[in-house]
């Protein structure tokens, strides 16, 4: 029971908003309760993490649900992400007025799905968790409100279509897996897997099909097409959520799969490495020419998916820990960028490169946050992004994946160009008059925290890396 507390807390949070949505609550009440409840969830998750520390993994619900350091650590990340997204989107500028309670409800439900995901160790549970998190997102994308803007509908439809396709592919792959292995439990799959993948070539196909829906969540090639349009169509705060949390979830799942596929992953490393490379190349090259910031971040996230994949392909404790470190760093840096976008956009409209002009004058704090977020994602020290790349390179060279490292290196070089464009735009003097962007103290605090986190975790990666290694150790 106490192990299951984070899930219960999130469920009750969703329920509270369900009841609130029945009435007509004030906006401030909604926001306050959202912030308070998500903070509470965060605290409870931390508590449950402290419970599993040093304990053996526990299995719940007919062994389909595993509580270990790995899962609890990811739950903290999800809770933290939810908290930041709610904090960042103060006032929900871009969401229909009457639907704000529902918005928070679906946001917490989606997080709940991800939280389930990080503990699921059985194929059907995984599918259901994935669907819980996806369906909530399908619903809130069209919640966007902006006069005369209709693209959120297109974005919503695209997300649903791609999501359905990905789930279908994934289920199809699972059917093969079940057919060969006669089990849906990862724990039972693991021992027979090495033998199966040697004798049954279809097993390779099955595994890649299953991974398809994780790639969809991660926005990795070849399931990346939705990302730019969905980011663009969704409101800024929603895009911030979609851009970060589901990707962390996907990484958690990929790590679980990579760990049980283990050494045998080598046989499909070639295919996955190709996907990673194509992700990087397509993402980075497309991002070069984007004017809309959210589209740019979408393409950059496709590239980042490739970087993370390199770490996962190492199938070593260091590689897994690097993947965790990198994706969490990415979450912070990306949310920092969305924080800037959210505030630069005055009425919830999309932000283009042009809108960044003069940001430096309009709000130095936002400009600084953007600079750190952008340079962080470009991998310039002493940010968390640099340390992440450094760890990934270390683990990949350790495993002699030289070609991958070289390609990653070149891609990191290319990506610097478009991050620089953002910085340059923010520091160009605006021709127009200075129009100060008002930031309340809470938002200021968040900005400062982003800056501190990006630099702090970058300079002192020790504590976090140790946790990540511990988490990686529980699944390897």
Partner 1 sequence: MEHYLIHNTLNYPILSVLIIVPLLGAGVTFFLKGDQAVKSWGLLVTLITAALSVPLFTNWDFATSRYQFAEVTEWFPFLNLNYVVGVDGISVLLVLLTTFVMPLCVLCSWSYIKDRFKEFILVTLLMEASMIGVFISLNTVLFFIFWEAMLVPMYLLIAVWGGERKDYASIKFFLYTLLGSIFLLVSIVALYIKTGTFFIPELMAQNYSFSFQMWIFLSFTLAFAIKIPMFPFHTWLPAAHVEAPVAGSVILASILLKMGGYGFLRFCLPMAPAATVYCVPYLIFFSVVSIVVGGYLALGQSDIKKLIAYSSVGHMGFVTLGIFLLSDDGIKGAMMQMLNHGVTTGALFILVGIIYERTHSREIDKNSALGMMMPIYVTFLVIFSLASFGFPGTNGFIGEFLVLLSAFKTSKVVGAFAILGAILAAAYMLRLVQKMVWADSDGHGHHDDHGDDHGHGEKEHHALYDLNLREIGTLAFLTVFVFVIGLHPKPFLDVMDASVTQLLEQVSEGLKHVPAGGDHGGGHHAALREMGQQIREWIAMR
Q: Which is nearer to partner 1, 34 or 451 (CB)?
A: 451
Nearest to 393 by CA among 412, 414, 376, 375: 412
Nearest to 318 by CA among 121, 119, 470: 470
Stretch that binds partner 1, among 93-101, 209-217, 306-314, 412-420 (CB under 8 A): 412-420
Q: Which is nearer to partner 1, 20 or 273 (CB)?
A: 273
Residues 382, 439, 474, 476: which binds partner 1 (CB under 8 A)?
382
3-state secondary structure of 98: helix
Residues 201, 398, 438, 445: which binds partner 1 (CB under 8 A)?
398
d(CA 444, CA 98): 28
CA–CA–CA angle 405, 410, 412 (5° rounding): 90
Site string for partner 1, 265-294 (x = CB under 8 A): -----x------------------------
Q: How far is the CB of 337 from partner 1 (least distance, A)?
A: 17
Q: 62: phi > 0 → left, psi -120 to 50 → alpha, else beta; which? A: left
Q: Which is nearer to partner 1, 267 or 394 (CB)?
A: 394
User: Does residue 380 interact with partner 1 by CB under 8 A?
Assistant: yes
Q: How far is the CB of 322 from partner 1 (least distance, A)?
A: 11
CA–CA–CA angle 337, 236, 217 (5° rounding): 85
Residues 6+ apart with CB under 8 A from 219: 226, 227, 247, 298, 301, 302, 305
Q: Which residues pair with 58 in a beta bridge?
A: 67
Q: Which is nearer to partner 1, 238 or 415 (CB)?
A: 415
For helices 69-88 and 236-261, give the axis angle rounded to 10 degrees: 170
d(CA 229, CA 234): 8
Q: 61: phi > 0 → left, psi -120 to 50 → alpha, else beta; which? A: left
Stretch that binds partner 1, among 133-141, 180-188, 227-235, 420-428 (CB under 8 A): 420-428
Q: How far is the CB of 26 from partner 1 (least distance, A)?
A: 37
| Residue 206 in tokens | 């099955």
**Polymer length in residues for the chain:** 476
Site string for partner 1, 443-472 (x = CB under 8 A): ------------------xx--xx--x---
Site string for partner 1, 221-260 (x = CB under 8 A): ----------------------------------------
Interface with partner 1 by CB under 8 A: which residues? 270, 371, 375, 380-382, 386, 389-390, 393-394, 397-398, 400, 402-403, 405-406, 409-410, 412-413, 416-417, 420, 424, 427, 461-462, 465-466, 469
């Amino acid at each position: 029971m106490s192990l299951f507390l984070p899930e219960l807390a999130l469920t009750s949070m969703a329920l509270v908003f369900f009841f609130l949505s029945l009435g007509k609550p004030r906006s401030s009440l909604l926001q306050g309760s959202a912030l308070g409840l998500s903070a509470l969830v965060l605290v409870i998750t931390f508590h449950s993490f402290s419970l599993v520390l040093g304990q053996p993994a526990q299995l719940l619900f007919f062994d389909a649900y595993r509580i270990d350091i790995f899962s609890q650590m990811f739950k903290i990340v999800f809770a933290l992400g939810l908290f930041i997204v709610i904090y960042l989107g103060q006032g929900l500028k871009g969401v229909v007025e009457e639907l704000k309670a529902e918005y928070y409800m679906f946001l917490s439900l989606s997080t709940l799905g991800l939280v389930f995901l990080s503990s699921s160790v059985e194929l059907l549970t995984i599918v259901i968790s994935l669907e819980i998190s996806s369906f909530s997102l399908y619903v809130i994308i069209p919640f966007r409100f902006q006069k005369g803007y209709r693209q959120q509908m297109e974005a919503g439809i695209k997300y649903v279509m791609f999501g359905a396709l990905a789930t279908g592919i994934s289920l199809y792959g699972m059917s093969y897996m079940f057919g060969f292995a006669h089990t849906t439990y990862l724990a039972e799959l693991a021992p027979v897997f090495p033998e199966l993948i040697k004798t049954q070539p279809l097993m390779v196909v099955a595994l890649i099909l299953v991974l398809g829906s994780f790639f969809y969540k991660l926005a990795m090639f070849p399931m990346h097409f939705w990302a730019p349009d969905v980011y663009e169509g969704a409101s800024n705060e929603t895009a911030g959520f979609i851009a970060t949390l589901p990707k962390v979830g996907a990484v958690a799942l990929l790590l679980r799969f990579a760990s049980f596929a283990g050494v045998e992953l080598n046989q499909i490393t070639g295919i996955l490495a190709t996907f990673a490379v194509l992700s990087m190349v397509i993402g980075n090259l497309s991002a070069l020419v984007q004017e809309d910031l959210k589209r740019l971040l979408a393409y950059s996230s496709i590239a980042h998916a490739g970087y993370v994949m390199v770490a996962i392909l190492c199938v070593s404790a260091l590689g897994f820990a690097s993947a965790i470190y990198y994706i969490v760093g990415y979450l912070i840096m990306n949310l920092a960028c969305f924080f800037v976008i959210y505030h630069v956009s005055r009425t919830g409209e999309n932000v283009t490169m042009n809108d960044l002009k003069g940001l430096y004058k309009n709000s130095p704090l936002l400009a600084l946050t953007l600079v750190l977020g952008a340079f962080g994602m470009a991998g310039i020290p002493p940010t968390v992004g640099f340390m992440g790349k450094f760890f990934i390179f270390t683990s990949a060279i350790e495993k002699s994946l030289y070609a991958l490292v070289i390609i990653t290196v070149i891609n990191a070089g290319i990506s610097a160009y478009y991050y620089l464009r953002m910085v340059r735009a923010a520091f160009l003097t605006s021709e127009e008059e200075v129009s100060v962007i008002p930031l309340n103290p809470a938002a200021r605090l968040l900005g400062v925290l982003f800056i501190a986190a990006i630099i702090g975790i970058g300079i002192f990666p020790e504590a976090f890396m140790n946790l990540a290694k511990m988490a990686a150790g529980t699944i390897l």
